[in-house]
Amino acid sequence: MRKLAILIVVMLIAQLSVAQKGKVTGALSNVMSGTVDKALPLIKDAEQEETTKNWAKTHYVKGRVFQAINDDQTGLYKKLDDKPLFNAWDGYMKALELDKADPKGGKIRKQVLKQLSIKNPGDVSTPRESNIMRDALINMGIEGFNSKKFDNAIFAFESILFIDALPEFNYFDTAIYYYAGIASLNLEQYDKSLGFFETSLKNNYEVAKCYKFKADIQKAKGDTLASVATVKEGLGKNPDDFGLLIELVNYYLLKSESQKAIEFLDIAISKDPTNHSLYFAKGVSYDLLKDAPNAIISYNKALEVNPTYFEAFFNLGAIYYNKGAAAINDAGLIPMGNTAAYDAKMEESKEFYRQAEPYFIKAHETNPKDKDALTNLREIYMKLKMYDKAKEVKDKIDSL
């Protein structure tokens, strides 16, 4: 009787194991027949059961179930899970892990790989027996990129790189490294991003942009000198790249190295002669060098390109305004008794204020809400003793 009892217990355990494995088989059958809603509860149960939770096939079928939810075109099953591709990937990766650990394994790996990709994923003409994960991940990466859901994008791109690196596929897609670099950069994963861009550079993919992004990363990490060296290296290899050129211009502008900035601004202007901002930046650089004549030429050039450029009008007005203020200071240094020299210098100051006036008027016309242009205009009228005009402008200021 004792032996019989033991035999019955063993038989019951075996029957239970078969029953649980039957859920896995049933889930796969439902996937194949298109009834994914019936497959999902079966595989969830099997994933929790002791007899099947560490069975490679369970997780392979889990991948199939969630992949089917993701690929659903009918709209019936999309609502079953909000992260089907993540869950499908989790299932396939667990299946590969368990299959590798099982000395009797091997078959499941082949089935998983068949779902992940084809031998040459870059050949779009290759017929697919069914949807594959790599295609779905590409779509996920693109959608994540376009919607700025960079967590989704980097998951997709890194998963693709894992698939491509498997010895059965051994495929290399430089574009994936490049876009993975941008996604991880947006997530501020700087070291990871730098690695992706380095790979893209080694393979001559989007070289100028990779240098620009690499420089951005170095700047974000606080290594300005390395960032500038990267921009210069990139320009050496891509002398016509406007983006890298502007990076260098901005660096020298921020460092107040105006002469260097002008040197690269001239190159930039030769490539984009209708860019008013470049002429304006050149004017600012000359201003910093206290070279008013060249600053005036540059600001006027900016206005030729953009006749409603507030900043150029304002800075031109400021040049003459400052000249007027400087003339008043000079007058104060003239010895007492030299009335003629004093009066001449004061008249000179008024002439500069008269020259500044139309520029601040134009600045106000292009940006009526700006108080600074009006404030300077009021000061000019006060200096010129045009008190009615000064009151008019003050009323405008008070109304803002």
DSSP letter for each residue of 227-245 = HHHHHHHHHHH-TT-HHHH
DSSP letter for each residue of 318-343 = HHHHHHHHHHHHHHHTSPTT-HHHHH
**13 pLDDT exceeds 60?**
no
**381 pLDDT exceeds 90?**
yes
**41 pLDDT exceeds 80?**
yes
% pLDDT > 90, the chain: 75
**5 pLDDT exceeds 80?**
no
When the candidates are 1.25.40, 1.20.1550, 2.40.128, 1.10.287, the CATH number that belongs to 19-116 is 1.25.40
**79 pLDDT exceeds 70?**
yes
Residues 45 and 23: beta-carbon distance below 8 Å: yes
Query: b/e per residue, 335-363, with b = 16+ CB within 10 A?
Result: eeeeeeebeebbebbbebbebbbebbbbb
Question: Per-residue pLDDT tens for 178-197?
Answer: 999 999 999 999 999 999 99
Reading phi first (left if > 0) and then psi (alpha if -120 to 50, else beta), residue 295 is in alpha
Residues 75 and 23: beta-carbon distance below 8 Å: no
The identity of residue 121, as a single letter, is P
Where do we find the tokens 């996920």?
A: 140
Q: What is the pLDDT of residue 1?
A: 45
Structure tokens, 195: 């690695």
Q: How confident is the model at residue 8 (pLDDT cuts 50, 70, 90)?
A: very low
Q: What is the pLDDT of residue 76?
A: 83
Residues 195 and 154: beta-carbon distance below 8 Å: no
Question: Per-residue pLDDT tens for 246-277?
Answer: 999 999 998 889 999 999 999 999 999 999 99
Residues 322 and 355: beta-carbon distance below 8 Å: no
Q: What is the pLDDT of residue 27?
A: 87
3-state secondary structure of 127: coil
Structure tokens, 258: 């105006």
Task: Delimit the domains of the chain by residue range.
Answer: 19-116
Q: What is the pLDDT of residue 129?
A: 54
Of 6-10, 122-126, 170-174, 376-380, minimum mean pLDDT range: 6-10
Mean pLDDT, rounded, for 136-155: 96
Question: Per-residue pLDDT tens for 280-323?
Answer: 999 999 999 999 999 999 999 999 999 999 999 999 999 999 99
Q: What is the mean pLDDT of the chain?
A: 90
Mean pLDDT, rounded, for 116-139: 80
Residue of higher predicted confidence among 17 and 37 = 37
